């Protein structure tokens, strides 16, 4: 037992219990084999010879953060036609840097919802093998979508025959694409249910895929034990994806009250990236985003924020999803203050990035909170995040699965 062997001990001034928003004073966590073996009070705990004590005095510890919508292989300065100039090996290497930046920002788990050529699978494997530093990754491989849709590559004319790896049309083709993604390592399925902002020539509000196609895709993924994320801005696409049984809807920009009610009833998670609009409209032109896309963003951003407020108020399951990759990796936490500005309590914003995300990933037995038996993904911040959510923008300590990746300085 932990009493008889050398342990890693983590002590701090306070620990945030994300389940009920309580701050527990003077915690001491006993870490064994990457898990939290016990939670004690450091005033009463006798440190044994040989134990390694990590002293986080002056700090509050909380569970590692989780971002349900990132693209680690995307670079925020390489939008539009610039993206076409990077090879698959090049974007994979850029993902190496972004994985480290994400972990250092306090995100110990991410869901990578789309990457070309299974670059995300390679990244995840290299991280798990200990070759690279990065978060625990759930990976989608190629995003699945209709010909010419948001998940296709529409930048070049016909004679170039450019087509994204995730293009599939019809119920059996989408099933086959799900199977192929799983074959090459996908652990989650992502598809595009409507047009998007950053794709060329798609209408952001317009549905892509019929109900039958979405049902087939989702049924196939569920049969294989994977959850499904749907990119959807427009109302019909959001509604159809929810009725087809999707696990999470991304963006959710033009949702209405009725569909919010449906999501609540179905237990569907909303992953609403309400920070990224500021980057797109502020920096996007310099970063190569097409005027067409900037125009679409002008119609999406503020409505999405108002609908975020409505969804929070209605009690929909909300997760933290940033779309980092469109904006710089490592800046993920900037979204927390916007989530509070647009209707969440600080605790709700933290729950979105911890226990709610763990539940969406069906990992709530092992991730999402600091409890005995769970994986030791621990971050530390100065001050009380329930009083000032912006402290999450400067995480000072990161432990993933019992290993320290960022030390106090």
**CB environment 85-100: b (16+ within 10 A), e (fewer):** ebeeeebbebbbebbb
* Residue placing its CB nearer to ligand ARG in the complex, 280 or 360: 280
Residue with nearest beta carbon to ligand ARG: 196
Task: Name the site residues for ligand ARG (rule: CB under 6 A).
Answer: 196-198, 251, 273, 276-277, 297, 300-301, 304, 323, 326
Quickly tell me which residue has 């895929």 as its tokens: 209
**Cα–Cα distance for residue pair 30/53, rounded to 1 Å:** 10
* Residue placing its CB nearer to ligand ARG in the complex, 280 or 380: 280
DSSP string over 109-130: EEEE---GGGHHHHHHHHHHTT
**Cα–Cα distance for residue pair 140/133, rounded to 1 Å:** 20
Q: Contacts for 33-36 with beta carbons within 8 Å, 24 or more apart?
A: 33/402, 34/375, 34/376, 34/401, 34/402, 34/403, 35/373, 35/374, 35/375, 35/376, 35/402, 36/370, 36/371, 36/372, 36/373, 36/374, 36/375, 36/376
* Residue placing its CB nearer to ligand ARG in the complex, 7 or 164: 164
* Residue placing its CB nearer to ligand ARG in the complex, 35 or 309: 309
319 class by beta-carbon count within 10 Å (0-12 exposed, 13-18 middle, 19+ buried): buried
Q: How far is the CB of 295 from ligand ARG (least distance, A)?
A: 12
* Residue placing its CB nearer to ligand ARG in the complex, 202 or 227: 202
239 vs 201, 220, 234, 251, 371, CA distance in Å?
22, 20, 9, 13, 36
Q: How far is the CB of 300 from ligand ARG (least distance, A)?
A: 4
Q: How far is the CB of 277 from ligand ARG (least distance, A)?
A: 4
């Amino acid at each position: 037992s932990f009493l008889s062997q050398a342990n890693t001990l983590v002590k701090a001034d306070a620990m945030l219990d994300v389940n009920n928003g309580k701050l527990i004073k003077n915690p001491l966590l006993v870490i064994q084999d990457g898990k939290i073996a016990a939670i004690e009070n450091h005033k009463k705990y006798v440190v044994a010879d040989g134990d390694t004590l990590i002293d986080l005095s002056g700090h509050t510890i909380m569970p590692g953060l989780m971002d349900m919508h990132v693209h680690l292989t995307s670079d925020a300065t390489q939008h539009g036609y610039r993206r076409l100039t990077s090879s698959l090996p090049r974007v994979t290497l850029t993902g190496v840097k972004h994985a480290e930046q994400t972990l250092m920002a306090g995100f110990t788990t991410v869901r990578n919802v789309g990457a070309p050529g299974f670059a995300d699978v390679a990244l995840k494997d290299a991280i798990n093998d200990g070759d690279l530093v990065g978060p625990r990754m759930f990976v989608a491989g190629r995003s699945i979508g209709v010909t010419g849709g948001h998940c296709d590559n529409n930048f070049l004319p016909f004679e170039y025959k450019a087509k994204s790896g995730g293009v599939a049309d019809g119920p059996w083709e989408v099933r086959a694409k799900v199977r192929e993604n799983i074959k090459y390592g996908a652990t989650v399925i992502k598809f595009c249910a409507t047009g998007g902002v950053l794709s060329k020539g798609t209408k952001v509000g317009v549905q892509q895929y019929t109900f039958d196609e979405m049902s087939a895709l989702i049924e196939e993924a569920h049969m294989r034990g994977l959850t499904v994320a749907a990119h959807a801005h427009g109302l019909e696409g959001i509604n159809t994806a929810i009725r087809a049984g999707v696990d999470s809807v991304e963006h959710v920009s033009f949702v209405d009250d009725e569909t919010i009610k449906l999501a609540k009833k179905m237990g569907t998670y909303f992953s609403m990236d309400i920070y990224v609009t500021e980057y797109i409209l502020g920096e996007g032109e310099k970063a190569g985003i097409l005027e067409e896309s900037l125009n679409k963003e002008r119609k999406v951003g503020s409505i999405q924020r108002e609908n975020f407020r409505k969804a929070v108020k209605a009690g929909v399951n909300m997760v933290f999803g940033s779309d980092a990759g469109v904006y710089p990796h490592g800046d993920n936490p900037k979204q927390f203050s916007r989530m509070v500005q647009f209707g969440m309590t600080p605790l709700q914003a933290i729950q979105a990035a911890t226990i709610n995300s763990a539940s969406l990933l069906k990992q709530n037995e092992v991730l999402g909170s600091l409890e005995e038996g769970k994986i030791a993904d621990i971050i530390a911040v100065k001050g009380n995040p329930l009083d000032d959510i912006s402290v999450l923008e400067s995480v000072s300590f990161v432990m993933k699965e019992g290993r320290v990746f960022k030390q106090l300085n």
